Amino acid sequence: MAVQTVVLEQRPLWRQTKPVNPVVAPKQRVYDTLPYEDDEVLETNWHRQAMSQLIEIIGTSWEGSKHSFVGGNMFVYFAPNQVKTHNFRGPDFFVVKDVDPDPSRKSWVIWDENFRAPNVVIELSSSSTREMDYGEKKDQYEQILKVNDYFVYDPEQTKLTGWRLQRGVYVELQPNSKGWLWCEELGLWLGVQKGVFDEYNTYWLRFYNKHGRLLLNKQEAEERERQAKEQANRRAKQAQFQTEQERQAKEQANRRAKQAQLQTEQERQAKEQANRRAKQAQLQTEQERQAKEQANRRAEKLTVKLRELGIDPDSIER
């Protein structure tokens, strides 16, 4: 996309003017009166999807998105007087911090935005734009717009390059062990990762937080939320199942305790009954002994009596 603008002077006045209230949207905007379409299409379907994913991720997963404008493939006007013959492509992706995040903008008009220029710009390069991305655009972002963090990603070479503005000059960023580059303005790592977006499985430019955790796009966030919900449901069901098992185990333990108590009572009663029977048997034995002794005493008395009467007890038939 081409941005139709002119540079009246190389001194970036907007970087010298601090807005009174940077997050409040201006009362009047002029972007509706400026061209915002040039009938040019993005290089490939990958470029369209990559740009959409970057905007989506920063707009939904970056904590600073509530006070920042996130745009892509739209005109950036930075001088009130336009010269139609002076053209350059608008950023594929850019972020302006501490401004109204109003998504209805059709283009970014710096003098209509309290003179706020992009803090971060990412260009998704190709064979037809590579020379401009590393040349003319880089010079304009460095010398005119004073973009603090500028990145170029070439999907054909899977190459990511970045610069940080230091004392008005771009200094190339050094990658970490994973090949990621640190974006100071966003407080995020920028790297390349293979994955699926919009049913397209390839290498994408992705953001990571300072701890190395991937910032999710909307589809990934919804999938993670779905998985988290499913996991929570499984845990709830497992907890419910465990509670039911514990309840049943408790009931079973109570039944066993009652059965043991009943068995103990039955054993106690059986023991008492055995004791009673033993006592009854002992009593009966004693009674039989006493009866036998009584019978013997009677027999002895009778024998004595008979003998007193001169009767031989042995001669009497029994």
Query: CB burial class (10 A; 0-12, 13-18, 19+) of residue 306?
Result: middle
The DSSP bridge partners found for residue 249 are none
pLDDT in tens, 172-229: 999 999 999 999 999 999 999 998 888 889 999 999 999 999 999 988 889 999 999 9
pLDDT more than 70, % of the chain: 83
pLDDT in tens, 95-146: 999 999 988 888 888 888 888 999 999 999 999 999 999 999 999 999 999 9
> For position 28, what pLDDT does the model report?
52
> For position 60, what pLDDT does the model report?
85
> For position 318, what pLDDT does the model report?
54
The letter for the amino acid at 246 is E
Q: What is the mean pLDDT of residues 220-247?
A: 93
Greater pLDDT, 166 or 197: 166
CB 98 within 8 A of CB 69: no
Domain boundaries, the chain: 2-215, 217-318
Report the CATH fold assignment for 2-215.
tt1808, chain A (3.90.1570)
Greater pLDDT, 183 or 7: 183
> For position 43, what pLDDT does the model report?
66
> What is the rounded distance in angstroms from the CA atom of residue 29 to the CA atom of residue 35?
14
Structure tokens at 191: 């790297």
> For position 18, what pLDDT does the model report?
41
> What is the rounded distance in angstroms from the CA atom of residue 298 to the CA atom of residue 291?
10
pLDDT in tens, 16-42: 444 434 444 444 554 444 444 544 445
Residue 313: DSSP 8-state: G
Confidence category of residue 307, pLDDT binned at 50, 70, 90 = confident
pLDDT at 243 over 60: yes
